Amino acid sequence: MTHTIIEACTGCTACVKICPVAAISGERKHMHVINAAICIDCGACGRICPSASIINEEGELCQSLKKSMWLKPVVLQSKCVACGACIQVCPTSVLEFDETSGEHVIPTLFDEKNCIGCSFCEAACPTHAIEMSVPAMSKT
């Protein structure tokens, strides 16, 4: 089962805008629908939804989070082997090779604003070289 929308939906369209694969449809102020054939379970809709209307693939109600509290990838140079799997699985293409990172260039999060915090990169990394953390928290 993929993510689904329940009746609490207010039709605010926040999920439509954040969904990286355009799986959500619906008219403003009306309940929206997730196309299960398209949904990739990135969870962005659940995190952005202000009315707690999204059920995740485990059947749990998703918790809305401020965008500043979303997890973002940090690439650990010492573990990364530059295979680029993280770059390719990213549904919003926000990771890219850092041309200044040495001979075997390694990825970095160059577009933090558009990162949806899905953790696909962390899951795909064969060497556990990606850690997800909240940028605001790590800065403090």
Residue 8 or residue 126: which is nearer to another protein going by CB?
A: 126
**Under the criterion CB under 8 A, does residue 24 sit at the interface with another protein?**
no
Q: Report CA 84 to chain centroid distance, whole Å.
A: 17
Tokens of 93: 């293409």
**Under the criterion CB under 8 A, does residue 77 sit at the interface with another protein?**
no
Residues in the chain: 140
- Contacting another protein within 57-76 (CB under 8 A): none
**Under the criterion CB under 8 A, does residue 117 sit at the interface with another protein?**
no
**Distance in angstroms (rounded) separating the CA atoms of residues 135 and 27:** 34
- By CB under 8 A, which span of 4-12, 63-71, 98-106, 131-139 interacts with another protein? 98-106
Residue 7 or residue 59: which is nearer to another protein going by CB?
A: 59
Q: Is residue 118 exposed (0-12), middle (13-18) or buried (19+ Cβ within 10 Å)? A: buried
User: Nearest-CA neighbor of 14 among 45, 35, 56?
Assistant: 45
The footprint of another protein (CB under 8 A) covers 20-23, 38, 40-41, 81-85, 88-93, 97, 99, 103-105, 114, 120, 123-124, 126-128
